[in-house]
Structure 1
Amino acid sequence: MSLGTKLKDAREHLQLTLRQVEEASGISNAYLSQLENGKILKPSANILYKLSTLYKVNLNSLLAAAGIITTSDKSAELSREDEVLNNIAFYAENLSSDEKSQVLEYIKFLRHKKKKA
């Protein structure tokens, strides 16, 4: 997945507009748009740090997507796993007790299904 796509997905996941991100991060709306549209491919690590913090995504995954660092297959796999866990935790904040129970039941179902395979 490209850096721009990762950033746009993360922003939309939080239901933030570019203007809201600009206000929260100090990064200009125009610059953010260029990042998301792939016109800027290698932003500074400082920019990616600000966005990873705001978007609650793993910094190394953004640095790797920008080509600033390289990751081994194992560390890339861990970054994806960390990102999934962060997303689950983020979504859990907005779930009702009933929805949380349903999610837990689904996870149990998936684990049971995996054991049978």
Structure 2
Amino acid sequence: MLKKTFLATLAFAALHGFAANAEEPSVHNQTYICERGVALQAVFIKAKDGSYAVISVDGKLVALREDVKTAEKLFIAVDDQDNYRLHIKGNDAFLTYKDSDPSKAEKTILQACQADIAED
């Protein structure tokens, strides 16, 4: 419950920060239920200058921005130290980690994630 409240507060703060730049920003909370019953919390923020997400992973919050250069919906971590990538197609998602070393392959962290439609 505390984590959801914190994510909602963070989303509100982000929305407030974007309000000056956006005509009609929106915030959407989403929980994805992944393999082994792991829940992935995400807050999506749409603003005039793009779409963003904040996820809770590995005990921390990670800010991501949408990469519009790809055909799929892909959110990439804003901070290069947190190289997480959230891939979304419809109600399905998976989370990967791309090491800063280009010779290393992208690792799947969470897969088979389904949007919890009870939240919609």
Larger RCO (CA within 8 A; separation ≥ 6): 1
Which TM-score band applies after superposition, normalised by the shorter structure? under 0.3
Bigger CA radius of gyration:
1
Higher normalized helix content (fraction of residues): 1
Q: TM-score, normalised by structure 2?
A: 0.26
